[in-house]
Amino acid sequence: MYHLSFTAKRILLSLLFVGLVSCDMAGQPAIFDSENANPEEVGRKIIKQLLERDEIMMYETDFLNTVHYAEAITAMGAIKLAGFLTDSAFVEGLKGRYEGILANFDTLPANHVDANVIGVLPLQFYHWSKNPKYKRMGLQMADKQWENPLPGGLSNQVRYWIDDMYMIGILQIEAFKATGDSRYIDRVALTMNDYLNKLQQPNGLFFHGPQAPFFWSRGNGWMAVAMAELLSVLPRNHPSFNFISESYLIMMNSLVHYQVDSGLWRQLIDYEDAWEESSGSAMFAYAIKLGVDHEIILGDKYEDAWEKAWLALANRVDDKGKLSGVCVGTGQSKDPQYYLDRPSVSGDLHGQAPMLWLSFSILESFEN
C-alpha cells in the first residue's frame, strides 16, 4: 500500500482542489480507489443494503419495546452520507423506510438509554430538510433523557456501561448541532468526566464490565467514538476539554499500539490469539480520523492508522454492501474464552453503522 505522510496528504489535497494532480471520478486521491476502497462507492453500497432490508431492527424485551439503537445509528449515518452526496433518491428512500416510525414518534418510549437514541433519526432529517417538526421530535428525546436528573446533574439513564457514553452522547451532540445550545454538550461533558473517572484504565482502554476485566473491541469502540464526537464540538476553552482530550489521547495511543499488521483490531484488543473484529475496528478508525480532522491528535502514525484500517475494512465489504467479521451481540463474562468463541456475521448493523460514519468522514475531509 502506498502511504502519504500527514503533511504530504494535505499538500496533495490542496493540489487536488486546484487541479494540479489527477484523481478518480469521485474526486478522491487514487490511494482510495484501489481494492474496492473508494469511500463513496463503499458508502453507497451500504446505504443500498440498508434500504433493501425487509424489517426494522427492534428491541423486544420485557422492559423495552422500540427501535433498536443499531438501527437508529445506522440510519443516522446513512442520512448524513446521502445528504452529503446530495442524493435525493437515497434520502427519500430512507424517509420511506422510517416514515412509520416518524409518524408515531410521540408514542415511542423515552425512558431508557437505548430507547432515546432514536432521537438522532429526526435530527438527521432536520439537517437535510430544515423541517421544524423533525427538530422538535429529536429535541424532545434529548430533553426527556434529562428529565428528573440524578443529584449532581447526570441523566437518570446513566448505568456505567461503556456503550452508554455513545448512546447518551450522540443524541445530545446532535441536539447541539441542531440548536447551537451549549447545554446539550455540557450534559455530555459532565457525563463523560464521570465515566472516565470511574471506568478508564491506566492504558486508556475500558473493561467490558466490573466482572468482565477484558478489553472487548466493540465496547471500547463506543467509548472511543463518544470521546471523539464530543471533542469535535467541545470548545477548547471548555472546563472539561483538557481532561477529556488527554483521556482520548491515552486511548488513541493504546489503539495505535495494538493495531494488527492487517490494519484491524482484535476481538479482545490485547489478546494476540484473538480474531480480528470489524465493528470495533471501524469505530476505532473513525474515532482516530475525527481526532486527526479536528487536530486533537497530530502525527503521521494516526493518519496511517485510520488509512490502514479503512483499506482493510473496505475489503471486507462485499458486493451486496455487507461488512464481514462483525461480532454478534455479546454480554459480559468472566471467561476470556467466551469472547474468543463468539461468532462473527456479515451485514450486522453494529458494523454497517461505523462504516457509514467513516465513509462520510473521509469524503468530507476531501471536500474540506
Per-residue pLDDT of the chain in tens (368 residues, 90 and over written 9):
334 443 444 444 433 333 333 344 445 556 576 658 999 999 999 999 999 999 999 998 888 999 999 999 999 999 999 999 999 999 999 999 999 999 999 999 999 999 999 999 999 999 999 999 999 999 999 999 999 999 999 999 999 999 999 999 999 999 999 999 999 999 999 999 999 999 999 999 999 999 999 999 999 999 999 999 999 999 999 999 999 999 999 999 999 999 999 999 999 999 999 999 999 999 999 999 999 999 999 999 999 999 999 999 999 999 999 999 999 999 999 999 999 999 999 999 999 999 999 999 999 998 77
Say what the pTM is: 0.92
What pLDDT was estimated at residue 223?
Answer: 98
- Output the CA torsion sign for 169, 229, 357, 311: negative
What pLDDT was estimated at residue 62?
Answer: 84
Domains of the chain (ranges; CATH) run 6-367 (1.50.10.10)
What pLDDT was estimated at residue 36?
Answer: 82
